[in-house]
């Protein structure tokens, strides 16, 4: 319970890692959900794109879209991203699969 004058409630009831993530996420919650899940998606997507850029931009983008969308599904099941971000991940999944199919037609 917060004492008078205390802005954040630092009391952790769930000592698991997911409980800790939810507590940290609640500090940045402004009504639409926190930003820790979005930050995880951006960091993983950015690093993966920069790592894969040596294979060409289109290939790197399609693989990054696919991996970020799968990670978005997992983060949604953990409750770290909101519905709008989840729908964006669904769109990225469709676009990533479309780019991979388009890229695979070159080799047939």
Cα separation, 9 vs 4, in Å, equals 11
pLDDT reported for residue 57: 86
| C-alpha closest to that of 103 among 52, 69, 68, 46 | 52
Cα separation, 26 vs 37, in Å, equals 12
pTM, rounded to two decimals:
0.78
Task: Map out the domains of the chain as residue ranges.
Answer: 33-102
Q: What is the pLDDT of residues 72-103, one digit of tens each?
A: 999 999 888 888 889 999 999 999 999 989 88
């Amino acid at each position: 319970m917060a004492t008078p004058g205390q802005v954040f409630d630092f009391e952790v009831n769930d000592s698991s890692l997911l409980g800790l993530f939810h507590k940290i996420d609640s500090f940045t919650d402004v009504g639409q959900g926190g930003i820790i899940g979005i930050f995880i998606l951006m960091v993983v997507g950015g690093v993966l794109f920069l790592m894969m850029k040596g294979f060409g931009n289109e290939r790197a983008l399609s693989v990054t879209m696919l991996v970020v969308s799968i990670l978005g599904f997992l983060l949604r099941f953990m409750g770290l991203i909101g519905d709008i971000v989840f729908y964006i991940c669904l769109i990225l999944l469709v676009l990533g699969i479309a780019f991979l199919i388009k890229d695979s037609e070159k080799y047939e």
